[in-house]
């Protein structure tokens, strides 16, 4: 049995901040949606744009995931006979059990806004492609079965490339060059795809086409390559030590850039946010004793995948009960802020409670099963090698 790759606390913390950002964004959007339905007007309050920019916690997930998997591949290649095969087995059993459980749950529990992604109704082909992780290649399947399922699609598809890229993108210069080139290529591909989906005889309305071409893999590729950049920047102790004196500069640039983007015309630009978040990752990697790497955020990071899958259901149910959370005596924007804040706090508590259960009952058994299968296959391969 090969030794496990070294575990870093800041990796869990990064996942924790990623899911926290997503929860902040979706709480704000849920509150806005319910308020518009009841009053006919969109609630506005200070910090709303920043809250909505929390959606780019998904890009922080992507950066962290690829960075971690490159670290893992480097470690396992030293000890395993078939590291590439084992990589795919581990990834499948890490993602599929919980995601497939999410498919079954959301087929049973229908969330109305999720069906907006399937204006012609949900059909068997959308369900089948979602089970096969191919739903990210069509506007009417990318988010129509599991809310937020687009992120699982693009990440699972990128995994197919990852072992190959590990052997080819071997320097920081290569990683940066590919990241920049794909940023331009991804944007160009999205513009062309949107035009073909909408004009002149396209089958999709502007919103569906625009959203699809923001979420699909070509637009996210440079963010994934940002994770490879991080591997070559801080993937070893020497790299982290070299950048440690500059860690607060990375943090400052990341925070200021994030705020500037949130209030700019590029507030829906995943590539820009992904690149800005590289600075935050560098800071945490070089500041493992920071208060930002605390036990609570690390715990939240460990259950972040379960939290991501279940929080849509939680927010949907809580959002319908917003009518009773009324700060009518307060100034309008302050009341909006407090209502949204309560929705965030309660959704975080409830989602993390559900996530803790699904992590124990679904995620951990799936991970163990994948590891047992890898261990058995490696043992067989070692025996066969000994016979030869």
Q: Which residue has better confidence, 327 or 354?
A: 354
Q: What integer pLDDT is reported at residue 144 of this predicted model?
A: 93
Token code pair at residue 10? 């800041």
Q: Which of 7-11, 178-182, 344-348 shows the highest mean pLDDT?
A: 178-182
Helices (H) and strands (E) in the chain, counts: 17, 0
What is the pLDDT confidence band of residue 209, given thresholds at 50, 70 and 90?
confident
Q: What integer pLDDT is reported at residue 223 of this predicted model?
A: 97
What is the pLDDT confidence band of residue 35, given thresholds at 50, 70 and 90?
confident
Q: Which residue has better confidence, 236 or 336?
A: 236
| Cβ contacts of 337 within 8 Å, gap of 6 or more | 45, 46, 47
For 18-31, b/e burial (b = at least 16 CB within 10 A) is: bbbbbbbbbbbbbb
Q: What integer pLDDT is reported at residue 115 of this predicted model?
A: 75
Rounded to whole angstroms, how far apart are CA atoms 386 and 388? Answer: 5
Least confident of 65-69, 183-187, 320-324, 331-335: 320-324
224, 165 contact by CB (below 8 A):
no
Mean pLDDT value of segment 279-299: 94
Listed residue (152, 82, 92) closest to 380, CA to CA:
82
Q: What integer pLDDT is reported at residue 329 of this predicted model?
A: 57
CA-to-CA dists, residue 61 to 11, 101, 121, 209, angstroms: 10, 21, 30, 24
Rounded to whole angstroms, how far apart are CA atoms 55 and 210? Answer: 16
Q: What integer pLDDT is reported at residue 202 of this predicted model?
A: 54
Mean pLDDT value of segment 256-266: 91
Rounded to whole angstroms, how far apart are CA atoms 268 and 271? Answer: 9
Listed residue (151, 110, 170) closest to 317, CA to CA:
110
Q: What integer pLDDT is reported at residue 21 of this predicted model?
A: 96
Q: Does residue 325 register a pLDDT over 60?
A: no
What mean pLDDT value characterizes the chain? 90
CA-to-CA dists, residue 359 to 14, 252, 308, 333, 354, angstroms: 18, 34, 11, 37, 9
Q: What integer pLDDT is reported at residue 135 of this predicted model?
A: 96
Q: What integer pLDDT is reported at residue 342 of this predicted model?
A: 84
Q: Does residue 387 register a pLDDT over 60?
A: no
Q: What integer pLDDT is reported at residue 47 of this predicted model?
A: 83
Q: What integer pLDDT is reported at residue 360 of this predicted model?
A: 97
Q: What integer pLDDT is reported at residue 319 of this predicted model?
A: 79
Q: Does residue 121 register a pLDDT over 90?
A: no
Q: What integer pLDDT is reported at residue 96 of this predicted model?
A: 97
Mean pLDDT value of segment 34-45: 72
**How confident is the model over 69-99, as pLDDT tens digits?**
999 999 998 888 999 999 999 999 999 999 9
Share above pLDDT 90 across residues of the chain, in percent, rounded to a whole number:
69
Q: What integer pLDDT is reported at residue 198 of this predicted model?
A: 78
151, 157 contact by CB (below 8 A):
no
Rounded to whole angstroms, how far apart are CA atoms 102 and 293? Answer: 29
Mean pLDDT value of segment 40-48: 76
Listed residue (191, 222, 221) closest to 209, CA to CA:
191
Q: Does residue 244 register a pLDDT over 70?
A: yes
For the chain, the domains span 9-379
257, 279 contact by CB (below 8 A):
yes
Q: Is the peptide bond before 208 cis (omega within 30 degrees of 0)?
A: no
């Amino acid at each position: 049995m090969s030794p496990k790759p070294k575990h870093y606390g800041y990796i869990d913390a990064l996942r924790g901040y990623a899911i926290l950002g997503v929860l902040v964004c979706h709480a704000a959007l849920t509150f806005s949606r319910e308020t518009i339905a009841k009053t006919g007007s969109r609630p506005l309050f200070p910090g709303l744009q920043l809250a909505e920019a929390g959606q780019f916690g998904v890009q922080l997930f992507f950066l962290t995931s690829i960075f971690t998997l490159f670290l893992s591949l480097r470690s396992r290649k030293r000890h395993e006979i078939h590291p590439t095969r084992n990589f795919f087995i581990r990834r499948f059993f890490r993602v599929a059990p919980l995601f497939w459980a999410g498919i079954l749950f959301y087929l049973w529990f229908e969330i109305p806004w999720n069906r907006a992604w399937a204006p012609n109704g949900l059909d068997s082909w959308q369900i089948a492609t979602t089970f096969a992780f191919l739903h990210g290649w069509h506007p009417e399947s990318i988010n129509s079965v599991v809310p937020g399922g687009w992120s699982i699609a693009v990440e699972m598809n990128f995994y197919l490339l990852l072992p190959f890229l590990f052997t080819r993108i071997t320097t920081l210069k290569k990683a940066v060059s590919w990241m920049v080139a794909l940023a331009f290529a991804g944007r160009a591909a999205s513009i062309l795809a949107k035009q073909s989906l909408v004009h002149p005889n396209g089958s999709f309305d502007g919103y569906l086409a625009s959203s699809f071409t923001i979420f699909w893999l070509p637009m996210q590729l440079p963010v994934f390559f940002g994770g490879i950049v991080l591997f070559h920047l801080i993937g070893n102790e020497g790299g982290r030590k070299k950048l440690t004196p500059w860690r607060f500069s990375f943090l400052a640039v990341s925070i200021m850039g994030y705020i500037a983007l949130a209030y700019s015309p590029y507030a829906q630009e995943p590539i820009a946010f992904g690149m800005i978040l590289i600075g935050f990752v560098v800071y945490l990697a070089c500041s493992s004793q920071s208060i930002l790497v605390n036990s609570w955020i690390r715990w939240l990071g460990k259950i972040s995948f379960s939290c991501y899958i279940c929080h849509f259901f939680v927010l949907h149910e809580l959002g319908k009960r917003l009518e009773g959370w009324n700060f009518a005596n307060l100034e309008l924007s302050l009341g909006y802020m407090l209502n949204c804040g309560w929705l965030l706090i309660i959704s975080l508590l409830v989602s993390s409670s559900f996530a803790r259960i699904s992590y124990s009952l679904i995620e951990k058994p799936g991970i163990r099963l994948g590891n047992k299968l890898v261990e058995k296959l490696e043992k067989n391969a070692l025996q066969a090698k000994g016979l030869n």
